[in-house]
A and B are shown apart, each in its own frame.
Chain A
């Protein structure tokens, strides 16, 4: 028996020395390169840009930032909770508001006293009067148009700001069809696009507080007889009628859509500023005439949702307050400050990552037309959003599927409305 015991002892010794060896190696590296921290990135399209930024940051401060990516199809929330549960929490995590609400209490460091709080103003995510997350960027969404393709097809210059109702949008689509662009709309099939973004206008355009909206939705919503819900579906119907992939709506490929819009085969795509990298890959030139129309809700031309576009801080960064050492937390704060205040950080944020900073001190001009349009609309107060509202974590997936059914013609408006009511009924 002694032999067995000693064997187990030897085995465990070997195991500990192996793991301890790993740690030693890391800490010996630490002294050479400053503090090593990690950053979980949940915006796949800027992974390379972030890695370059981390390199630049390291060159300036000797702190090393490892950029962790969320793999294809991986949900950021799953990734971050897995990392926390395995004791490998990222020092900084970029997440959606709904994730922050679920995690802040257990994991996030209170950032209320950070210098950047004054720069981001109301963009910061505060809960109970405490700031827990840095708003990483501002993103906007609406109906992206290719102005050059429209003008060329119609042989005249269309003033896009004059399109401010479903009726006018429908008339423009009809005119495009009559002039040879038979299907001017690309309608993406992705559940997040349909369920979170297109259906999301219903919530974003809510005029009272997020709390009231939450109450209203859970109090037994009657979507079928709701004016705004019907207005939203009217616009969706236009998209369906003029959809380039009308024969196979759920076969619409996202990347192909970006190419079709870039080369002017279609003129409209309901999407957001994050679509630029895909469009640029599809051949879109930064000098071309791209911009946003609002996602129209009805025919009232003075209604804010028909003249302004949705834009809001969309990704938030928390600093780990549960597992990171004091030193790592300080380095993480320093990295955020570098993004907000350093010349390199500001410049790379705009030109490498092609993002709009939520900090008002970043005055680097935007390099792509979609971001330019949003920055301009932000400056002219032509944007809207509902602060503090986060739909439940499975909303995009469940309602996305219901919207897909509608787009594919498998369900009708009443059935879609019923799915909507049912979904919210379950969220008691």
Chain B
């Protein structure tokens, strides 16, 4: 009996060890090393690291700028998650209903996701600050006559729009696979029972799509919380630091202000916030899943 158990462990280790090895190398070790750095006043350069206890955490808790950018990020995440998933869901629904040219539309909507965030940010920066302004000036369309990136409110929405534009195609694909694997029999049965339109979507399709919704929400949450590339190239935190999302704040703290320990402590807070929200989201989402 014991021998058999040992065999199991051996087999398990054999399959898991390569993965575990790399997981440890790129995730676990850096994570714990990073945690260790939060307890020091390292500036990223010198060899000696003085132990400072929990003072970096206390500084972080008392840093209003960090919490402001955390709040801004939460606002950004809420909008991105809502818009990406609603639009992705609707697109997925429309593009599985035999619409003419649906394959063309599918690849069209997916394409932005293939462009890296850095390039995407530059493209949209040019559009917002040059192209839209030129269109606004020639057409007299008031809200486009000045660059959206030059005032805090519109710059925030520019960030949301570009992120949604980038992510929606990816989520649409996941929703499409959800829709296509949905049992036709259940839908037919619902129709025979008289469910139509919104009622059918709300009470039949949506519960059956819950696994896709959970995955998509999780992916969008995680991507939106950690966004840095678009933030950097589209607004660069501007105008006057009004769109510094939390990842950028962490980066600036560690590398521009050269306070590595504090930056790392802020990153731990960010990790906790994302972890807690993700766990809650997955748990509540899972509990609503039904089987056909």
Contacts and interface: CB of A to CB of B under 8 A. Distances in A.
B277 interface: no
Given A75-B255, A102-B258, A401-B241, A248 B150 contact: yes
Contacts of A191: 238
B120 to A, nearest CB: 13
B45 A253 contact: no
A264 to B, nearest CB: 20
A250 B13 CA distance: 58
B145 A81 contact: no
A73 interface: yes
Contacts of B44: 81, 85
A247 B146 contact: yes
Interface string A66-101: 000000110101100100110000000000000000
Interface residues of B, number: 34
A397 B252 contact: yes
Interface stretch (B14-22, B175-183, B265-273): B14-22
Nearest to A78: B255
Interface in B105-122: 118, 122
Nearest to B242: A401
A423 to B, nearest CB: 12
A89 to B, nearest CB: 12
B239 A408 contact: yes
Contacts of B238: 189, 191, 250, 401, 404
Given A75-B256, A402-B240, A250 B147 contact: yes
B256 A248 contact: no
B51 to A, nearest CB: 19
Counting from the closest, the 4 A-B pairs by CB-CB distance are A251-B147, A250-B150, A248-B146, A251-B150
Given A247-B146, A250-B151, 12 more contacts: A7-B14, A7-B17, A11-B18, A75-B255, A75-B256, A81-B44, A106-B45, A189-B239, A248-B147, A253-B130, A256-B130, A394-B257
Interface of B: 10, 13-14, 17-18, 21, 43-47, 118, 122, 129-130, 133, 145-147, 149-151, 232-233, 236, 238-241, 252, 255-258
13 contacts: A3-B10, A3-B14, A11-B17, A73-B233, A75-B256, A77-B255, A78-B255, A81-B255, A189-B150, A189-B238, A251-B150, A253-B129, A397-B241
